[in-house]
Chain A
Amino acid sequence: NAGVMQNPRHLVRRRGQEARLRCSPMKGHSHVYWYRQLPEEGLKFMVYLQKENIIDESGMPKERFSAEFPKEGPSILRIQQVVRGDSAAYFCASRNELGGLRAFFGQGTRLTVV
């Protein structure tokens, strides 16, 4: 039973390019969360999605960031026109309806903007 899979593990983008981060939740999980971790900081909530729906995007920057969780396939976090301040580790977590409050985290994608 594979855990939460994120890819790529490392991503380097030049300023102005687009970054696409993918997250495949654990089998049977239909709830996905994205968190961002800046160096020496805790994780900060970005967005919460269920299949085909954005439930809470209160932590998402208003511009350049978007997320989706289609009916088929992984959840995608998309960052357009990246800037150096977007460099961070981005973590995805998933949980199911019956799993209580336990969310399982992936290993993260480390984004570096040069």
Chain B
Amino acid sequence: QQQVKQSPQSLIVQKGGISIINCAYENTAFDYFPWYQQFPGKGPALLIAIRPDVSEKKEGRFTISFNKSAKQFSLHIMDSQPGDSATYFCAALTQGGSEKLVFGKGTKLTVNP
């Protein structure tokens, strides 16, 4: 059972456009929701994260929107650039205990020049 569902699987955007990636979760015990960026041959790197007591968090061109009642959250990349081309993973964890990350399956983003 996929605890964190991510869509779309792939996304092509023109330079300057907005990239939107969506995730939905099942487990209401999740209380921390990070997004990771992964380039080919590299490990995932934390991009931005949000806690469920906040509905939106913005860092530069990256924004997370969070809808607790719908158990959904999304990543928006404004003014997308070719350098943003990578695979993006949403994740979730429960604080306390082992705090292991549960990942979505990833979205491969391609930003065309």
Contacts and interface: CB of A to CB of B under 8 A. Distances in A.
Which of under 10, 10 to 19, 20 to 34, or 35 or more describes the interface residues of B? 20 to 34
A42 B98 contact: no
Contacts of A35: 101, 103
Contacts, number: 57
Given A101-B32, A101-B95, A4 B43 contact: yes
A91 B46 contact: no
A103 B98 contact: no
B43 A42 contact: no
B98 A48 contact: yes
B49 interface: yes
A45 B43 contact: no
A51 B4 CA distance: 30
Interface residues of A, number: 23
Given A33-B100, A42-B6, A101-B32, A108 B43 contact: yes
Contacts of A59: 100
B89 A101 contact: no
Contacts of A106: 43
Interface of B: 4, 6, 32, 34, 36, 41-46, 49, 89, 93, 95, 97-106
12 contacts: A35-B101, A42-B4, A42-B104, A42-B105, A43-B101, A43-B103, A56-B98, A91-B43, A91-B44, A101-B99, A103-B46, A103-B101
